[in-house]
Amino acid sequence: MASGENLITFMAWDATPITLSTQIARFKWVESTTSYERHLSIEGDDVEYSQASFHGVMPEHYSGGGVTCTIMFTHTITGGTVTFNLAFRTLTSGETLDAAHTFAYNAVAAGVPSAIGEVGYDDITFTDGADMDNVAAGDAFDMRWWRDPTTGGTGHSHVLAIVIKET
């Protein structure tokens, strides 16, 4: 597989919101009042931590060179940054899914678009191996997303999609 080619695209509806006491990522419609377009998003709060998981299988054509995850989002304010975090976890044979698991996150301080409702794109990269929990071709994995409200930006972010490409 060539570097830069898409491996997986996760849309907002592919997410599983995670509840941590009162903290939860929510599904939210991003709507146009003039053309009646609606786009489903995962909303990241600016007060509470917001988390969601995406579950997938790394395609067989992944050659193990690391990945770049592009987050496509909008924001409810203009200017500044918003901090997004991503982590991978390999689902290994024989593991207990209902046990506690740890995630090693990589982060990006994404530039907030210059207009409300405008789409922004920012990347988080992972090197092959431990940085992405040794996810290899054919492996099932969880990819965890979260927004940290304590670093960067007020307002709510709306993640529309996350595209994973081979680096």
- All domains in the chain, ordered by first residue: 6-166 (2.60.120.260)
3-state secondary structure of 27: strand
Q: Long-range pairs for 20-27 at CB < 8 Å and ≥24 separation?
A: 20/49, 20/51, 22/48, 23/48, 23/49, 23/50, 23/51, 24/48, 24/50, 24/51, 25/50, 25/51, 25/52, 25/145, 25/146, 25/147, 26/50
> pLDDT digit string (tens) for 22-31?
667 788 888 8
Q: Alpha-carbon distance 38 to 29, whole Å?
A: 6
Categorize the per-residue pLDDT at 101 as very low, low, confident or very high, splitting at 50, 70 and 90. confident
Q: Alpha-carbon distance 91 to 29, whole Å?
A: 31
Other C-beta atoms lying within 10 Å of the C-beta of residue 115: 10
Categorize the per-residue pLDDT at 152 as very low, low, confident or very high, splitting at 50, 70 and 90. low
> pLDDT digit string (tens) for 45-88?
877 778 899 999 999 999 998 999 999 999 888 888 889 999 99
Three-point CA angle 89, 26, 6, nearest 5°: 45
Residue 61: its pLDDT value, please?
Answer: 94
3-state secondary structure of 89: strand
Paired tokens of 48: 């509470």
What average pLDDT is seen over the chain? 88
Paired tokens of 93: 């044979």
Paired tokens of 99: 């046990």
Please give the model's pTM, rounded to 2 decimal places.
0.91
